[in-house]
Amino acid sequence: MALPAGSGRLEAARETLLKNLAGYRQRKGHAITVVFDGWQGGLGAEHREFQSGIEVVYSKRGERADQVIQRLARLYGRDCAVVSSDHEVVNSARAAGAFVIGAAEFRAKLQDRAFSPPPVAFKELDRGQNDVVKRSKDKGGNPRKLPKAQRKRNHQLREF
């Protein structure tokens, strides 16, 4: 079987990714499944193997990795996290109840940099005699506190 041009670089990139994921798995203890495309040159059936404690799935010929990820997200729902920046995959995973993290955010965690969510800047008000902050009566809550959804996501990111 002839390999396409650049396949050596692709294999090296996959091996580097798997090595980094294995290190992440050791630090965090999460079960990890990575899905690679096999739709053009893959086998007739989906292929699964384990490498360094990471489950590696190759999609079957004619099926894209995105489709496999969407199927797995529907299967596991709230019990899984999906790393993707593809809007279709992200929307499908969120609809299934999965925690979703973007590829860039996960790359930062994978490289073990001090990861923290982007800071939210709050405008400090100078309270002079003429400055009066008026809030309507239907507004509630602390204006300096992050919204509940953002606090929940930050908590999930710390756990992830």
Residue 72 lies in a domain: yes
Give pLDDT, residue 128: 46
2 assigned to some structural domain = no
CATH code at 72?
A: 3.40.50
121-148 residue pLDDT tens? 444 444 444 444 555 566 677 778 888 8
Q: What is the pLDDT of residues 45-86, one digit of tens each?
A: 888 999 989 999 999 888 899 999 999 999 999 999 999 999
Across the chain, mean pLDDT equals 79
Predicted confidence at residue 41, as pLDDT, reads 66
In a domain, 131, yes or no: no
Three-class SS of the chain:
CCCCCCHHHHHHHHHHHHHHHHHHHHHHCCCCEEEECCCCCCCCCCEEEEECCEEEEECCCCCCHHHHHHHHHHHHHHHCEEECCCHHHHHHHHHCCCEEECHHHHHHHHCCCCCCCCCCCCCCCCCCCCCCCCCCCCCCCCCCCCCHHHHHHHHHHHHC
pTM value surpassing 0.85: no
| Confidence at residue 99, expressed as pLDDT on a 0 to 100 scale | 93
**What total number of domains does the chain contain?**
1
